[in-house]
Chains A and B, each alone.
Chain A
Amino acid sequence: MAKLKKNVKPEVALLQKCLTGIKGLDEITGGGLPKGRPTLVCGGAGCGKTLLAMEFLVRGAIEHNEPGVYMSFEEKSEELTTNFASLGFDLNDLVSHKKLSLDYVQIERGEIEETGVYNLDGLFIRLGYAIDSIGAKRVALDTIEMLFSGFSNEIILRAELKRLFSFLKEKGVTAIVTGEQGERTLTRFGLEEYVADCVIFLSHKVSEQIATRRLRIVKYRGSVHGTNEYPFLIDEQGFSVMPISSLGLDHPASNKRVSTGIPRLDTMMEGKGYFQGSSILVTGTSGCGKSSVAAHFVDAACRRGERCLYFAFEESRTQILRNMRSIGIDLEQWVKKGLLEFRNSRPTLCGLEMHLVSMHKAIEVFNPAIIVIDPISNLVTSASENEVKSMLSRLIDFLKMKGITALCTDLTAANGSLERTEIGISSLMDTWLLLQAIEANGERNRGLYILKSRGMEHSNQIREFYLTDKGVQLRDVYVGSSGVLTGAARIAQVAREKAEKLARSQDIEQKQRNIERKKEVIEAQIAALRTGLAAEKEDLDQAIDRENLYQKVLDEETLAMAQTRKADDFVSMKKSGSKPGKRGGK
C-alpha cells in the first residue's frame, strides 16, 4: 500500500507492481508488471518477445535481486545463452550464481503417443522445482503455445493452461508468458483468455523500408497505464521503450542565459542570449548559414567549458570541422579537449526511434550542456512528418527536463513560406531565428530575424548577416523607400549618402565664403567713406583756421590803423578789451 504513494486514495489493497528494469517500460506501466501475476506478451515473429521476457528476468536478477526461471519451449538453453551474450547478458554466470534457471522444454509431436487421459503435472513439477530450487520470483514461459503443437487434446491442454496460470499465481511469481500473434486474435491459441491481468502487444512494422518496433499495453487490470503505441528499440544494451507522452510539461524553467556566440545576436536578445535549457530553432533556405550559427553557439559554450553534443545528419565530422574553420571557428580544439562530440549518421541509417534512442543514450552518456541537431528536417526522410514531430517533442521534453539547451537547424524549402518549418515544430521551440536570403540587384545576401523568443524582449529588426573569416557578423540593414538594402546596394546607398553629404557641406562652405567676401567689400566701402568724411572735416578745419587767421590779421590791421588815427574806438577798445568788429565807426 505504502509503495504507491502517487495514487490519491489510499485504498486497502492496491495492486503491487514488479519493476521490470527495462528502460521506459516501467514508466508506461506506472511501476512495472503486476506483481505475482502473469503477463502476456504477444506479437509477431521477431518482434522481441523473447528478449523482453529474458531481459525481465536478467534485470530482475541483477537489479532487484529476484531470481528468475526461464522456461523455453523454442530455443535451447545453449542457444539462448549464445544469443543473449551478444546483448551483454552473461546467462551462464547468472545460472552459476543461482540467479537464473534455464529450462528448455522440448516438444516433439512425433515422439509422443497419447493413450488415454493425462495432465501436465510434469510441467508443473518441473517449473515448481525450478522455482523452488533458486527461490525464483520471476518466471518467463517462452512460448507456451508450443504446447499446442505437442499435444493433440486441446481440451486437456486448455484446462491445464488455466491450471498453470493459477499455479503461477499461487507460487506468487511474476510471470511473463509470450505468445505468437494470431490472425485476428492477440495470440494464435487465445492465451489472452487465461492471462487476463496484463497484456502487452509488440509489433514490428516496416514503412518506407524502415522498420520500427512498437509496444502497446493492451490491458492492465487494476492500474492506469499509457495507452499509446510506444516505439521501442533493441540494441546492444537490450530493450528500451520510449514513452512519448509520459514526460509531462513540468520541467523547470531556468532564468540563466547563455550567449549565442555572436555578440550582435546577444544584443538583439537583451544583450544576454538564449535562455538556458530552451530550444532554439534556426530555419532558413540552403546556404543561409544555419550551421554557422550553430557552430558559434557550440564554440561559445566550449569556451565556457561546457560540454556539447553535435548530431549531424548531413555532413561528416571532418567536413563540419573544415567548413567552420573557413569562417574562423576552430571546433577541433574542443573535440580534442573532449568538450565537443560529434554524432554523425545518415537519417536513413535506421528508424526514427532508433535515432531518438541513440540520441537519448548519447546524451545520457556524454551529459552535455547543449546539443545541436543539424538539421532536423533531414529526419523527415526516414519517417513521416507526424512521427518526426512526435519524436522531436519527446526529445525536446527530455532535453528540457535535463536543462539542456538545444539548437536545431531546419532547412526550409526555397519555394515555401519562410515562416513555416518543414516539420511544423516551430510551436515546440522557444526561440526561432530565421535566416533569409534577400535577393536583389543580382545578389543574394543574408538577413537574420528573430521571429520569436519566448520570455524576453528581443529586437524586431532584421540584421544583415555576413559570413566572414572571423565568423558571423551582423550589421544593421538599410531600410529605405525601396525596401531593405543589403550587400552592394547597401554599399551604393552608403556612397550615395556620403556624396550628398559632401555636396551639402561644400555648398555651405561656398556660402560662407561669399558672405565673407561681401563683408570685406562692405568694410572696405565703410573705410573709404570714413576717409572721405575725415578729409572733408580736415578741409573744414583748415577753412576755419584760415578764417580766424584772416580775422586776426584784419583786427590787427584795424588796430594799427586806429592807432595811427588816434581814434576813440581804439581807446574804448583798449579799455573794454576787444571789440574789434566795430567797424561801423568808419
Chain B
Amino acid sequence: MTGGAKKKMPDRKGKSAIETKGWQLKLYVAGQTPRSITAFDNLKLICEEHLEGKYHIEVIDLLEKPQLAKGDQILALPTLVRHLPEPITKIIGDLSNTERVLVGLDIKPLC
C-alpha cells in the first residue's frame, strides 16, 4: 500500500510526477484527537484552495501502525510529510498557520 507507493515514486523525475500524480501528502496523527481533526481539516482546506484536483492525502494513525513512525522519522504529531514533489519536507503542528504551511509545502499562491 503506502510502502509500495513510496518506493515507486522517487524513481520518476520530480516534475513529471507532479504532472502525473500531483502532490503526495501524508498526515501522521495519533488517534482521532481534536488536534488531529483540526490538522486534517486545515490541510484539506489548503489543498482544496491551492492544489485542487492534483493532490493525494494519506492519513496515518500511528496508534494503529506505530511501526510506520520510524520510516518518516516522525517525532512530533501531527506531522505532515510531503513526499512529492521532492524534496521531502515536513510540517509539524495542527497546520493552523496557513501561511507557514504554504511556505513549508512550497506552494506559491495562485495569482
Contact B93 A122 (CB under 8 A): no
Q: A122-B30, A122-B75, A123-B75 are in contact. Are A115 and B94 (CB under 8 A)?
A: yes
Q: Name the one of B67, B69, B97 contacting A116, with C-beta atoms under 8 angstroms.
A: B97
Interface residues of A in 362-384 (CB under 8 A from B): none
B79-111 interface code vs A (CB 8 A; 1 in, 0 out): 100000000111111111100110110000000
Q: Name the one of B78, B88, B101, B104 contacting A118, with C-beta atoms under 8 angstroms.
A: B78
Contact A128 B66 (CB under 8 A): yes
Q: A103-B70, A122-B69, A125-B66 are in contact. Are A111 and B76 (CB under 8 A)?
A: no
Note all chain A residues with C-beta closer than 8 A to B39.
116
Contact A129 B67 (CB under 8 A): yes
Contact B76 A120 (CB under 8 A): yes
Q: Is B23 an interface residue (CB 8 A)?
A: no
Interface residues of B in 14-44 (CB under 8 A from A): 28, 30, 35, 39, 42
Contact B90 A121 (CB under 8 A): no
CA A112 to CA B73, docked complex, whole Å: 11
CA A322 to CA B92, docked complex, whole Å: 74
CA A107 to CA B70, docked complex, whole Å: 12
**Chain A binding surface, main DSSP class:** mixed
Note all chain A residues with C-beta closer than 8 A to B66.
125-126, 128-129
Contact B76 A151 (CB under 8 A): yes
Note all chain B residues with C-beta closer than 8 A to A120.
75-77
Contact A125 B90 (CB under 8 A): no
Q: A113-B92, A115-B96 are in contact. Are A121 and B77 (CB under 8 A)?
A: yes
Q: Is B9 an interface residue (CB 8 A)?
A: no
Residue of A nearest to B106 (CB): A113
Least Cβ–Cβ distance between A551 and chain B, in angstroms: 172
Q: Name the one of B30, B75, B101 contacting A107, with C-beta atoms under 8 angstroms.
A: B75
Q: Is B62 an interface residue (CB 8 A)?
A: yes
Least Cβ–Cβ distance between B39 and chain A, in angstroms: 8
Residue of A nearest to B99 (CB): A115
Q: Is A93 an interface residue (CB 8 A)?
A: no
Q: Is A318 an interface residue (CB 8 A)?
A: no
Least Cβ–Cβ distance between B92 and chain A, in angstroms: 5
Q: Is A358 an interface residue (CB 8 A)?
A: no
Least Cβ–Cβ distance between B24 and chain A, in angstroms: 16
Q: Name the one of B30, B70, B88, B97 contacting A121, with C-beta atoms under 8 angstroms.
A: B30
Note all chain B residues with C-beta closer than 8 A to A117.
35, 93-94, 96
CA A123 to CA B70, docked complex, whole Å: 9
Note all chain B residues with C-beta closer than 8 A to A111.
88-90
Note all chain A residues with C-beta closer than 8 A to B78.
118
Residue of B nearest to A157 (CB): B76
Q: Is B74 an interface residue (CB 8 A)?
A: yes
Contact A112 B74 (CB under 8 A): no
Contact B69 A113 (CB under 8 A): no
CA A160 to CA B69, docked complex, whole Å: 17
Q: Is A105 an interface residue (CB 8 A)?
A: yes
Q: Is B45 an interface residue (CB 8 A)?
A: no
Q: Is A319 an interface residue (CB 8 A)?
A: no
Q: Is B63 an interface residue (CB 8 A)?
A: yes
Least Cβ–Cβ distance between B65 and chain A, in angstroms: 9
CA A116 to CA B35, docked complex, whole Å: 10
Contact B94 A122 (CB under 8 A): no
Q: Name the one of B30, B93, B104 contacting A125, with C-beta atoms under 8 angstroms.
A: B30
Note all chain A residues with C-beta closer than 8 A to B69.
122, 125-126, 129
Q: A113-B100, A113-B104, A115-B96 are in contact. Are A126 and B74 (CB under 8 A)?
A: yes
Q: Is A31 an interface residue (CB 8 A)?
A: no
CA A121 to CA B66, docked complex, whole Å: 11
Contact B88 A119 (CB under 8 A): no
A77-91 interface code vs B (CB 8 A; 1 in, 0 out): 000000000000000
Contact B79 A122 (CB under 8 A): yes
Least Cβ–Cβ distance between A149 and chain B, in angstroms: 12
Least Cβ–Cβ distance between B53 and chain A, in angstroms: 23
Q: Is A114 an interface residue (CB 8 A)?
A: yes
Q: Is A263 an interface residue (CB 8 A)?
A: no
A sample of 17 inter-chain contacts (CB < 8 A) reads A103-B70, A107-B75, A113-B103, A115-B92, A115-B101, A118-B94, A119-B76, A121-B76, A121-B77, A122-B79, A123-B75, A125-B30, A125-B69, A129-B66, A129-B67, A129-B69, A151-B92
Binding site for A on B (CB under 8 A): 28, 30, 35, 39, 42, 62-63, 66-67, 69-70, 73-79, 88-97, 100-101, 103-104
Kindly list 7 other residue pairs between chains A and B, CB separation below 8 angstroms, not including A116-B95, A118-B78.
Answer: A112-B91, A113-B92, A115-B97, A116-B42, A118-B76, A121-B76, A122-B28
Binding site for B on A (CB under 8 A): 103, 105-107, 111-123, 125-126, 128-129, 147, 150-151
A-B pairs with the 6 shortest C-beta distances?
Answer: A113-B104, A116-B93, A129-B66, A122-B74, A116-B96, A116-B94
